[in-house]
Amino acid sequence: MTTITAPAASPPTAAPVLDLSARLALTDALMAERCNMARLAIDVNTARIPAADPIPEITAPPKLTPTLSPCPYKTPLAAVLWRARIRLERDGWCTGHLRDDARGCLIGHIRAEASSRGQADDACSLLLEAIRRDFPTATTVPSWNDAQRDPRLPARYLERAAELAHAQLI
């Protein structure tokens, strides 16, 4: 009888030990191959088929411009103060100028909206009256305006002055 013997098991071989430079070179080669495959995938996915229909032109929606609501006041002085508040919000606000229509001072906005100098003076005095109800130490509209940090309070007091003018029917 013949006996078959199994081949002798070879001892496990350990993986070769690579130094840092060899590992970096191997990783660099693997990453370069991955980048090439990614570039190729982008080229394939974004290729333009010449026989296909052209891409339709996409137009932007029309720009919406907010429309102003009509003046809620029927009295002329209240309407001037309301329009001055709208102008302040639209054109801007400034401090440090007694009268400067271009930079946005309160008196400049009122004078730009008033139909006469007398109407502008009446609106300014009514604005000062509305300011003095809450700030009794305010001496003038420009000095009070210069003490403000932003246009929120000046716009609010233009609105309050318009309400005051409407209540007095002037």
Distance, in Å, from the CA atom of 163 to the CA atom of 154, rounded to the nearest integer, reads 14
pLDDT band, residue 32 (cuts 50/70/90): very high
pTM: 0.58
Model pLDDT for residues 80-136, shown as the tens digit of each residue: 999 999 999 888 888 876 554 445 688 889 999 999 999 999 999 999 999 999 999
pLDDT of residue 115: 93
Burial of 84 (0-12, 13-18, 19+ CB in 10 A): buried
CA torsion sign, 129 to 135 to 140 to 144? negative
Provide the residue ranges of all domains of the chain, joining segments of one domain with +.
76-168
pLDDT band, residue 162 (cuts 50/70/90): very high
The pLDDT mean for the chain works out to: 84
Residue whose C-alpha is closest to residue 79's, from 103, 32, 115 = 115
125: Cα within 13 Å, side-chain hemisphere: 6
Amino acid sitting at position 110: I
Q: In the chain, pLDDT over 70 holds for what percent of residues?
A: 78
Distance, in Å, from the CA atom of 127 to the CA atom of 88, rounded to the nearest integer, reads 14
pLDDT band, residue 169 (cuts 50/70/90): confident
C-alpha distances in Å from residue 166, one per residue of 23, 114, 152, 160 = 84, 16, 21, 10
Q: Which residue has the higher pLDDT, 87 or 56?
A: 87
Q: Is the pLDDT of residue 168 over 90?
A: no
Q: Is the pLDDT of residue 5 over 80?
A: no
Cβ pair 113, 87 in contact under 8 A: yes
